[in-house]
Amino acid sequence: MMQPLVSVIVPTHNRPDWLSETLHSVLDGDFRNYEIIVSNNGDPAHTRALARVFTDPRIQWVEQSQDLDIFRHALAATSMATGKYVAILHDDDRWAPNFLSSLIPAMETTDDIVLAFGDHHCIRADGSIDHQETIRNSRRWGRSRLPEGIHKPFFEIVAKQSVPLTGSVFRRNVLRLEDVTTDIDEFYDIWIPYLLAATGKAAYYHSGRILYKRVHDSNANSARRVTAKLGAVHGRRAMLRDSRMRPYRHVLEMRLARSHVSAALALLGQRKHRAAASQIVASLETGPGLATALALRTALILSNRAAQATRRAPG
C-alpha cells in the first residue's frame, strides 16, 4: 500500500460493541486515503472476533500489553502512525461521514495549519444524541461562539479547552511524542493541542458537528483517578509558566484550582488525607471564587473524616 495520508489511531479496551460502531463510522465515511491502527490492551478475543468481520486491508490490528494504562496505550498506538496526519479516535466515539473531508482539505491547502478540529454531538451510552448536553457542551468549551476558519495563534482556544482531541486531526511531523511526558498522564488530550499551539502555527475550526462523543461513567480505579488528576495539575502549572499563555492566566488559574480540588477528592478516596490537604491548600493559593468554595467544601470533608477517625481510634 502507498503511504496513507491520515493515520486513524483507535486505542481500545474491552468495548467490542462500541468499537464496531467506531470502525464503521470511519469506513463508511466519504474520505478514503487512510490507515486505521486498532490498538488493543484488553481481551485479545474481542479484536480477533472483529478482525474476522472487518477485513479492510487498511486496518492494522495490534495487541498491546494489558498492563498499559490509558496514557501509555494512547502514546504507544500514536507512535505507530505513518500518515502525514494523525487522528485519535476513542473506541466509544464515532465520526460523522464528512469528518475527514471537512478537516483535511484546509490542512492540505494551508501548510501553516498544524491542527484542525470540529464541534460534536454528545451521545448517551446507547448511542442516542443528548441535544441539551450537546448545546451546553459547545457553550461551556467556547465552540458555540468560535468563528469557523483559521486561528493564529491559537493559545486562547487551548486555554479554553475548545479542542476535543478525539475530534481533531494534527500534523504528525510537528508533534514530538517525547514532549508528552508521564507527568502529563491523561491530561494529554489537552496537552497535545497546547504543544501544537506552541509551534506558533495555526489551527482550523470547522463549526459543524462532525463527531459523536459518548458520555458515560468512567470505570477507572481510584489509583488511576489520582494519577489522572495529578497529571492535570502538572500540565496546567506548566501552561501557566508559558509567557504566551499570560493573557489567559485567569481562566488557567481557575482551572488549576479546580484540578487541585479534583485531585484532593481522588486522594480522599484512597484515604490519603495529608496529600489531599496539600492539594486543598494549593487550590486556595491558586484561585478564588468557585474553586475556593469547592476547596473549602472539600476541606470540611477532610476535617469531618479526620474527626471521625480520631473518635474511632482506641484510647
Given this model, what pLDDT does residue 242 score?
A: 97
180 with 235: CB under 8 angstroms? no
Strands (E), the chain: 6-12, 34-40, 59-63, 85-88, 94-95, 113-123, 149-151, 168-171, 202-214
How do residues 10-43 score in pLDDT, each as one tens digit? 999 999 999 999 999 999 999 999 999 999 999 9
Residues 41 and 52: their CA atoms lie apart, in Å, by: 18
Domain limits of the chain? Answer: 6-214, 222-312
pLDDT tens-place string over residues 152-169: 999 999 999 999 999 899
Using CA atoms, how far apart are residues 303 and 119, in angstroms rounded to an integer?
42
Grid coordinates given for 25: 463510522
Residues pairing with 7 in the sheet: 35, 86
Residue 264 and residue 279 in contact, taking contact as beta carbons nearer than 8 Å: yes
Look at residue 129 in the predicted model and tell me its pLDDT: 97
Residue 315 confidence (pLDDT):
41
pLDDT given for residue 287 in this prediction: 66
Percent of the chain with pLDDT over 70: 90
∠ at Cα 74 (73, 78), nearest 5°? 115
pLDDT greater at residue 213 or residue 315 = 213
CATH 3.90.550.10 fits 6-214, yes or no: yes
Beta-ladder partners of 28: none
* Collapsed DSSP state (helix, strand, coil) of residue 286: helix
